Structure 1
Amino acid sequence: MTPHILKKLDSDIASLRSRVQAMFALALQQLEDSVILFEKCHREKGLAVAELEPRLHELQFAIDRECANMIALRQPNAGDLRIAIASMRIASAIEAVGNAALEIAGAGERIHKSGRKPLSESEELVGQYGAVQQMLVAARDACQKLDAGALSVIARTRLEQSRESSALIERLGARLEAEAGRARVLAEEIEIARCLNRIAALALAIALQVHYMARGEDRRHQPLEELLDEVAGA
């Protein structure tokens, strides 16, 4: 490969990584704003979440185009090809985080529009947000540093968060059956809990792609406990 093509390939990869980080920044802002709306009834945050969505889509489209062009024109080696493939998968996962944040904002808006305050579980939902946000930030940092070792930490956090989320959703479901007068708010809180759980799963998916970029090991669809045992022992 000529020095000119190598230089262009390095430039393409740097651009890809920069756009991925920009997507992370937007999705994290959307998530933060959506939870502020739910927790504190700052309803102007709903508009802020929606306004960031087109920018997120633009970045995802740009990443897809850059990856396609890089593969077609630069003849990347195996390592650089993994970066291109994983970057597209990560961009798709981040875009899904933005979609989940929009759903959280919508649920929070409906709760406050109905004149009902969030119930006692709102504190636990905000706690879930904290854990999910930390996972997403860890995934962002791992992507920036190409840190395959972060998968172990994120997988361990995901395992604990998943258990807590399942217990919370079960409690909310029990209250939904017992407290018919609060059914609307409870249903919205269940939706928020499910969205946060989905974002946690996406953070793990991103970490798996970073691991793939760095080590060439595709561990998607591996049971979480098995994955954690193998990665921790590596």
Structure 2
Amino acid sequence: MNTETFERPGGLPRRALLCALALGAGLALGRAAPARAAERATVIPPAADDPPAGQAGTETAVFAGGCFWGVQGVFQHVKGVTSAVSGYAGGDAATANHEATSLGNTGHAESVRISYDPKQISFARLLQIHFSVAHDPTQRDRQGPDVGTQYRSTIFAANPEQARIAKNYIAQLDRARVFGKPIATTIEPLKAFYPAETYHQDFMTRNPDHPYIAINDLPKVDNLKKVFPASYRAKPVLVGAGA
């Protein structure tokens, strides 16, 4: 079931309401909320193909892996990342909005555009974090409670070099059988990225007590801190003005 298709008043996805109901039901029965994949991290080796840092400046990577709230929240806590923006990639400008993308037939995936300083962090290290703690790369069209092609695991390569590094890293991890099953992540050329609506930006930081965030996304940031302590920063870099 695509839990995002139906909206609550105020524009927030119904997936959040479903998680709240599930959480409430569990507590009412004296049980903890059910564990989800987001609460686990897979410790994986770094990419063997990790070219030396480039010239000073800013580079961009676009990753998709489930709801963009969690992916954005993780990378906002990564050292060397100067911006992480939730948005849509893979489809046309006319359907680059939450209502259309939620139908699952636009070609778009909920994605995050990551701007980073290659002197501080490499594209390969960003991939390692994405595969290890930001999402489950063995699931192609779902993450946690969210199902549909708009939640697919994809690397939107901005150039041939990114595509090459991503392809080699996926092959490396599959050969080592790190996840116990094949990685489902696809590599697609980045045609365009469209920022999401304002209410989606910085959602994790602005709503830490929201049941969807508490169950599915905050554990990802905890895992980032545990698995990649040298890359973790406590204060996130936010999209919101004045942040």
Query: So what's the TM-score if we normalise by structure 2?
Result: 0.23
TM-score normalised by length of structure 1: 0.24
The structure having more radius of gyration, on CA atoms, is 1
Structure (1 or 2) with the greater helix fraction: 1
Which protein has greater RCO, CA pairs closer than 8 Å, 6+ apart? 2
